Amino acid sequence: MTTVRDRAGPPRSEHVPVSVRRRGGAIVGFDPERIASAVARAMAEVGRAPGGLPARVAREVSEEMGAASTRPVSVEELQDAVERRLMAAGLDDVVRAYVLYRRRRAELREQKELLQVTDELKLPLAAVVVLKERYLRREPDGRASESTGEMIERVAHHVAAGEEVHRPGSSAHWAEEFAGAMRRADFLPNSPTLMNAGSRIGLLSGCVVLPVEDSLRSIFAAVSAAAVVHQAGAGTGFSFSHVRASGEMVESTGGRASGPVSFLSLFEQAAEVVSQGGRRRAASMAVLDASHPDIEEFLAAKSTPGTLSHFNLSVAVRDGFLRSVARRGRQRLVEPRTGRTVKEVDAESLFARICEAAHRSGDPGLVFLDAIDRGNVLSELGPIEATNPCGEVPLRPYESCNLGSVNLANFVTGGRVDFARLEEVVALAVRFLDDVIEVSRYPLPELESAALATRKIGLGVMGLAELLASLGLPYDSHAAVRAVGRILERIRAAAEAASAELAEERRPFPAFARSSLAGAGAAARRNGQLMSIAPTGTISLLANTTSGIEPIFAVSYVRRILGRHLFETNALFERVARERGFYSEDLVSEIASTGSVQGLDRVPPEVQAAFPTAMEIAPEWHLRMQAAVQRHCDGAVSKTINLPETATVEDVRRIYLSAWRSGLKGITVYRDNSRPGQVLSLRHGDGAAVSVAEGFSGGCASDRCSP
C-alpha cells in the first residue's frame, strides 16, 4: 500500500504500481504526477479547464494498474489506461489531443532510432543529431557507443575526479551532484568539456589566446599551437598588433615585410585542414590595434565573401581614439616594432571605414582595451590584447577560457525567480569549473602554467530571453533590464562567495597576491576571473532554451533534419500556447512564415509582448541589456546587435559609440543578409518559412556567435 496525494483532497492509501518499465527497459518509480500533467496538457490544448479531472484520472489509473499486478507496468499500458478513462468521461476531444501527443512522441523516438542513439535525456531531435556528430563517443564505423545519459555520466565522473586532489574519497558524491545539474540542464559546460572529458585528447577548455610576436618563429609556432588546440575542439584568439607593418625592412634578409594580414591566410588554411578531420568548425579571433599602419588592409580582409571563414575580426580601440572621433581629431599610426609614427590620419574617417566594413559583412567588431584594463585585476602580469573567438573572454597569452552556463529558464517558479535554487546551482557550477582546470590535459606546457596561475573561469547564463518571457517581461523594456541587473548581481555575489569558499578549502589562485584584489583587502578567491557571458551556441540547443542573453531569434521556424523539413517552435511559447488553449498546427505554420507572433489575432497581446524577436527589438534595447549584464561580469559579454537589412552605416556608427559610452568591453553587429551562408533565412514562394541550418541554436543569423 502506498500513499497517494489527490490534488483535490488529502492523501489517502491506494493500490499503485510499484514501478514502471520504460521503453528502453529501465525500471523507474511510478509517478502519478506525470499522468496528471499529461492529461492537464491535453485538456489545455483543446481549451478545457483541467479542474480536478487530471488528479482523478491519475488516481484511477494508479488503482487499475496497481490492482492488476505487482510487476512493473509498461509506459504503453499506462497510456492506454489514460485513454480509456478519458473516453469513459466522454472527453473525445481530449482523447484526440492525448493520442496526437503520443503519436508525436512515437515519431520522435523513431527518428532517434534512425540515428542509432539512445536518448534518456529526451532531447530535441536537432540536439541528438549534433550530439551524435560531435559529442558522443563513437565506434570505428561511426555508430554512437554511448547514450546521451552516459555522456553526462562520463563528464561528471571525469570532472569530479578533481575533487580527489583536495579531499580523497569525495568524488563519487560530487559526480552525482554534477550529473544531476547537467541532466536537468540547470548547468552545462562548454563543448570541449562535453566532447573530451575522459578522452585521450583531454583538453576541456573552450578556447585559448596564443601570442603572435614579430618573428617568423613566433608566427609559425602560433600556427602549430592553434592546430593542436583546434583539433581538440577549442577556439583560439590572437593579437596581430605586434607584427611589423607591410613594407617595413626585414633586417636579416634586406627584404620587405608582408604585414600581419598576409599571415592570416596561414592560420586560415591550418584551421580548414584541422576542421576536415575534427569534430566541429575551427574558430578564431584576430585582433589588430586601430593604431597599426595596416589597419585599412585589415578592414578589407573579409570584403570578399567566403574569405577567412574561420576568423572573426575585431579592431582594438582605446578611449583616446574614440574621443578623437567625437571631436574630429587625428589618429597616429605607429609601427609596432620601432614605435615610430608612420603617419597621422583623420580619426573620424578611419572610424567610418571600420563602420562601413562592419555594415558590409559583420566584421570587424570592436574590443575596448581601456575598459578591459580597468576591469583587469591581474594587470601586473601584463596587458590583455586579445579575446576568444566570440569576444566574451579577454585573456593574456596562453590563458584559457573554461566556460559553463546556468540555464536561467529553469529557475522560474510560480512567476518568480527561485533565487535560493539558482544560487545553489551557481555555487555548484563554480566548483565544477574549478575542477575542470584540475583535470584538463593541456597540449602545451605554457597553457597549463597559465591556467593554474590564475585559475580563470567563465560562468555565464543562457535562457535569459525565456526567463523574461516566463516572468511576462518584454525583453525590450526597462522592467526587463532592471530585473536582469538584479539577477546577474545575485549570480555574481553567489559566484564570488563560492570562489571564496573554495579558496579556504583549496588555497587562493597562485597569482592572488599580485592581484588588485589582494591590494584592496578583498577576500581571497580561488579564481582570478569568474564570469563571462558566452553565446552558448550548441549547449543551448542541448538545453532546449535560448542562447546566452540573446532574444528569441524566431518563435517558430523550419529545420531540415534527416532529409525532412520539420517545424520547430520555441519550447516555452509552445507550452504557454497549449496551456492557454490557443495552440494549433496552423498557428505554428503561420508563425514560421515570419518567425514572429506580433500582430497575430490568435496570440493574446500580453503573450505577443513577452515574445519579441531579435529583429523586432530596437538596437538601443540590445545595448541596454548587454550593458546591464556587463556591469556584473569581470569578463566580457558575447552579444550580437542584430540589424535589419535596411540598416545604414550611420546606424552602425551610433551603436559602436553607444557601446563604448556604456562601458562595454566589446561589441559586434550583424546586418541581416550581409554575409553568404547565413544560418537563418526567410525563403519566399510556396510554403514560405523561416528556414534554419541543421545546427542552428538560436543565437543570431550569422555563425559569428556560435562557432
Specify the length of the chain in residues: 707
Residue 233 has pLDDT above 60, yes or no: yes
**pLDDT for position 680:** 63
Which among 96, 32, 27 has a CA at the least distance from the CA of 66? Answer: 32
Determine the Cα–Cα distance for residues 652 and 671; give it in Å rounded to an integer: 9
Q: Hunting for cell 574630429 — which residue is that?
A: 328
Apex 354 CA angle, 350 and 360, nearest 5 = 140
Question: What are the grid coordinates assigned to 90, written together?
Answer: 466522454
Relative orientation angle of helices 53-68 and 32-45, to the nearest 10 degrees? 140
**pLDDT for position 305:** 86
Compute CA distances 280 → 132, 149, 296, 648, whole Å: 12, 21, 31, 34
Strand partners, 317: 368
Pairing of β 556-561 and β 564-569: antiparallel
Query: Which bin fits 571, alpha (ψ -120 to 50), beta or left (φ > 0)?
Result: alpha
**pLDDT for position 701:** 58
Q: Where are the alpha helices (DSSP H) in 395-444?
A: 419-439
Determine the Cα–Cα distance for residues 502 and 524; give it in Å rounded to an integer: 9
Pairing of β 365-368 and β 666-671: antiparallel
Q: Hunting for cell 523516438 — which residue is that?
A: 109
**pLDDT for position 108:** 81
Determine the Cα–Cα distance for residues 638 and 644; give it in Å rounded to an integer: 19
Residue 97 has pLDDT above 70, yes or no: yes
Q: Each residue of 45-89: pLDDT tens digit?
A: 777 877 888 888 888 888 887 765 667 888 888 888 888 988 888
| Least confident piece of the model among 111-120, 281-290, 327-336 | 111-120
Determine the Cα–Cα distance for residues 457 and 404; give it in Å rounded to an integer: 8
Determine the Cα–Cα distance for residues 380 and 383; give it in Å rounded to an integer: 8
Residue 616 has pLDDT above 90, yes or no: yes
Return the amino acid letter for 79. Q
Determine the Cα–Cα distance for residues 220 and 667; give it in Å rounded to an integer: 30
| Least confident piece of the model among 78-92, 283-297, 551-565, 648-662 | 551-565
pLDDT band at 112 (very low <50, low <70, confident <90, very high): confident
pLDDT band at 22 (very low <50, low <70, confident <90, very high): confident
Residue 51, C-beta contacts closer than 8 angstroms, at least 6 positions apart: none
Task: Give the count of beta carbons closer than 10 Å to the beta carbon of residue 663.
Answer: 13
Question: What are the grid coordinates assigned to 612, written together?
Answer: 519579441
| Least confident piece of the model among 432-436, 482-486, 521-525, 530-534 | 521-525
Determine the Cα–Cα distance for residues 412 and 434; give it in Å rounded to an integer: 27
3-class DSSP assignment, residue 169: coil
Determine the Cα–Cα distance for residues 49 and 358; give it in Å rounded to an integer: 52
Determine the Cα–Cα distance for residues 133 and 148; give it in Å rounded to an integer: 12
What percentage of the chain carries pLDDT values higher than 90?
66
Average pLDDT along the chain: 89
Determine the Cα–Cα distance for residues 554 and 165; give it in Å rounded to an integer: 46
Q: Please tell me the pTM assigned to this model.
A: 0.90
Q: Hunting for cell 482523447 — which residue is that?
A: 95
Determine the Cα–Cα distance for residues 581 and 98; give it in Å rounded to an integer: 14
Q: Mean pLDDT, to the nearest integer, of 135-155?
A: 92
Strand partners, 403: 458
Terminal alpha carbon distance of the chain: 54
Q: Mean pLDDT, to the nearest integer, of 544-564?
A: 86
**pLDDT for position 568:** 85
pLDDT band at 6 (very low <50, low <70, confident <90, very high): very low
Relative orientation angle of helices 419-439 and 148-160, to the nearest 10 degrees? 70
Task: Give the count of beta carbons closer than 10 Å to the beta carbon of residue 100.
Answer: 13
Compute CA distances 21 → 26, 28, 33, 37, 76, whole Å: 6, 7, 17, 19, 9
**pLDDT for position 694:** 65
Question: What are the grid coordinates assigned to 260, written together?
Answer: 600581419
**pLDDT for position 692:** 73
Are 377 and 516 a contacting pair, CB within 8 Å? yes
Determine the Cα–Cα distance for residues 514 and 665; give it in Å rounded to an integer: 23
134: which DSSP letter? I
Which among 285, 311, 306 has a CA at the least distance from the CA of 393? Answer: 285
List active site positions: 388, 390, 392
Determine the Cα–Cα distance for residues 253 and 269; give it in Å rounded to an integer: 26
Residue 672 has pLDDT above 90, yes or no: no
Residue 208 has pLDDT above 60, yes or no: yes
Taking each continuous run of H as one helix and of E as one strand, the counts in the chain are 25, 28
pLDDT band at 412 (very low <50, low <70, confident <90, very high): very high
352: which DSSP letter? H
3-class DSSP assignment, residue 8: coil
Which among 212, 213, 245, 241 has a CA at the least distance from the CA of 343? Answer: 245
More confident residue, 565 or 590: 590
Are 391 and 285 a contacting pair, CB within 8 Å? yes
Strand partners, 668: 640
| Least confident piece of the model among 132-136, 508-512, 598-602, 619-623 | 132-136
**pLDDT for position 1:** 34
Interior/surface letters 557-573, b for 16+ CB within 10 angstroms, e for the rest: bbbebeeeebebbbebb
Residue 377, C-beta contacts closer than 8 angstroms, at least 6 positions apart: 515, 516, 517, 528, 529, 634
Residue 388 has pLDDT above 60, yes or no: yes
Residue 21 has pLDDT above 90, yes or no: no
Residue 624 has pLDDT above 50, yes or no: yes
Residue 413 has pLDDT above 80, yes or no: yes
Q: Each residue of 363-385: pLDDT tens digit?
A: 999 999 999 999 999 999 999 99
3-class DSSP assignment, residue 539: helix
